[in-house]
A and B are shown apart, each in its own frame.
Chain A
Amino acid sequence: EVQLVQSGAEVKKPGESLKISCKGSGYSFDTNWIAWVRQMPGKGLEWMGIIYPEDSDTRYSPSFQGQVTISADKSINTAYLQWSSLKASDTGMYYCARQYDSGRGPDYWGQGTLVTVSS
């Protein structure tokens, strides 16, 4: 059974850094892309970027390029999304999802990680 398990909710202050995680199991983690998707409160889904754990090939949506960093550690089947300096506008739910092809939408999704940035 394919499973993506994300790290727990976070409450941070503006300017702080953060790294959230997504651990995959039940499939070949190395050879499937992992995508990150943002959902701001009451808003729609926004595709942020993807990483191919086998070689760490990473691609970002133009809207998120330079705003976040996506990484992965294939030795522990885990992908990461990180911020170096959070803003209040980063508040939202962040989903990781398996994307078996870089040009197709995700098929399996994690449960989401709620990030709250507030002073």
Chain B
Amino acid sequence: QSALTQPASVSGSPGQSITISCTGTSSDVGGHNFVSWYQQHPGKAPKLMIFDVSNRPSGVSNRFSGSKSGNTASLTISGLQAEDEADYYCISYTSSNSLVIFGGGTKLTVL
């Protein structure tokens, strides 16, 4: 059972938009709408940013949005801010064992 594939790093300047991808297979990302995204600052616990592909929990900025096409889910952050610099992880349900699996994580650098 391999982790979902995310780019190791992405970067952007303040005010710009960036997109982080999360690629799996038809057994996980492509086959179900149970993809979530987490933000993790250094030394802190992860924080849920998006659930069920495109839903934002209460209190999460609307600069964060999620989508999915085929076997790839995406997290888009618009109007980048310095505080967005963090690691981001996707997670998806997988029908291979009816459990969940994380992506490898992406480090976002705000230039």
Contacts and interface: CB of A to CB of B under 8 A. Distances in A.
Interface residues of B, number: 28
A25 interface: no
Contacts of B57: 107
Give the interface size bracket for A toward B.
20 to 34
Contact of B93 (A46, A63, A104): A104
A47 B51 contact: no
A55 B102 CA distance: 26
B1 A62 contact: yes
Contacts of A11: none
Contact of B98 (A45, A62, A103, A108): A103
B111 interface: no
A64 to B, nearest CB: 11
A102 B98 contact: yes
B51 A104 contact: yes
B86 interface: no
B110 interface: no
B65 to A, nearest CB: 17
Contact of B45 (A50, A105, A110): A110
15 contacts: A37-B46, A44-B87, A45-B46, A45-B89, A47-B102, A62-B1, A95-B46, A102-B98, A102-B99, A104-B52, A104-B100, A105-B38, A105-B92, A107-B48, A112-B45
